[in-house]
């Protein structure tokens, strides 16, 4: 497949390496210095675009791809307040859009386990739930997109939690109906997400620890391959890792 990479940071470079290793053509790389190349002329003939940029630029990049008729896989986080807008544009343009907050197969299995665990723990109000995420200091958003998915899924199922909040107050006080997300930034930390249920007698934890970006990049490439195959079969619309992994 013929691919445009939008965003050429560490993830973009790893995605390029995997695409080439799988025999795909990286026909265009767009970054800050050549952002203007995201146009009809340069994007002509592209089978798919893979977008990993920043929260401030993701929406515009995705809109442009959909308006140009190019299927797009997006891995940028912290912009999803605009997700309904993108989904509506995708429908209007009869486009193809794949979004995941995390492209790791392991993380998406953890999402499924998290939903099942929350359903089980709903019966036991003596357990309080929290979510913690640990990332490198270069990560711009907090909480991570993965942490918000975990938290949203818990809030949707756990009757005693009505919303989530990033951290508690300076005095350590917080509303027990709020699910606390703790965000930690360290100099070297590829990414760890932990869901904890704690009572006075024991603790239950669900943890996913990513060892490198390779799993994320490979998942994004798999998503692009999946999306191109869906479009070739005449299926367009909005897709996620649940579709890819059949969860």
Of the residues 2, 10, 42, 135, only one is catalytic, namely 135
CA distance 8 to 51: 9
The interaxial angle of helices 105-121 and 145-157, nearest 10 deg, is 30
CA distance 91 to 237: 6
Known catalytic residue: 161? no
CA distance 49 to 7: 10
Is 193:147 a contact under the CB 8 Å cutoff?
yes
Is 50:29 a contact under the CB 8 Å cutoff?
no
CA distance 221 to 234: 20
Is 132:193 a contact under the CB 8 Å cutoff?
yes
CA distance 235 to 59: 23
Of the residues 24, 82, 136, 139, only one is catalytic, namely 139
Strand partners, 74: 51, 99
Q: Which residues participate in catalysis according to the annotation? A: 135, 139
């Amino acid at each position: 497949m013929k691919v445009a990479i939008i965003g050429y940071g560490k993830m973009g470079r790893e995605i390029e390496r995997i695409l080439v290793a799988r025999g795909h053509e990286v026909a265009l790389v767009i970054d800050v210095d050549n952002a203007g190349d995201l146009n009809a002329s340069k994007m002509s003939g592209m089978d798919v675009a893979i977008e990993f940029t920043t929260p401030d630029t993701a929406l515009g990049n995705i809109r442009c791809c959909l308006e140009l008729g190019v299927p797009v896989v997006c891995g940028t986080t912290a912009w999803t307040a605009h997700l309904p807008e993108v989904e509506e544009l995708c429908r209007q343009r009869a486009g193809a859009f794949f979004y995941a907050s995390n492209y790791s197969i392991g993380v998406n299995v953890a999402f499924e386990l998290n939903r099942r665990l929350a359903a089980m723990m709903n019966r036991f109000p003596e357990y309080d739930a929290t979510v913690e995420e640990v990332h490198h200091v270069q990560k711009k958003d907090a909480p991570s997109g993965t942490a918000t998915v975990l938290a949203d899924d818990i809030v949707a199922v756990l009757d005693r939690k009505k919303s989530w909040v990033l951290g508690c107050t300076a005095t350590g006080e917080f509303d027990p109906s709020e699910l606390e997300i703790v965000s930690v930034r360290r100099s070297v930390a590829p990414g760890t997400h932990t869901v904890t249920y704690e009572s006075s007698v024991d603790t239950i934890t669900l943890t996913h620890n990513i060892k490198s970006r390779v799993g994320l990049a490979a998942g994004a490439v798999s998503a692009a391959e999946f999306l191109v195959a869906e479009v070739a079969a005449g299926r367009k619309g909005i897709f996620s890792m649940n579709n890819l992994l059949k969860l």
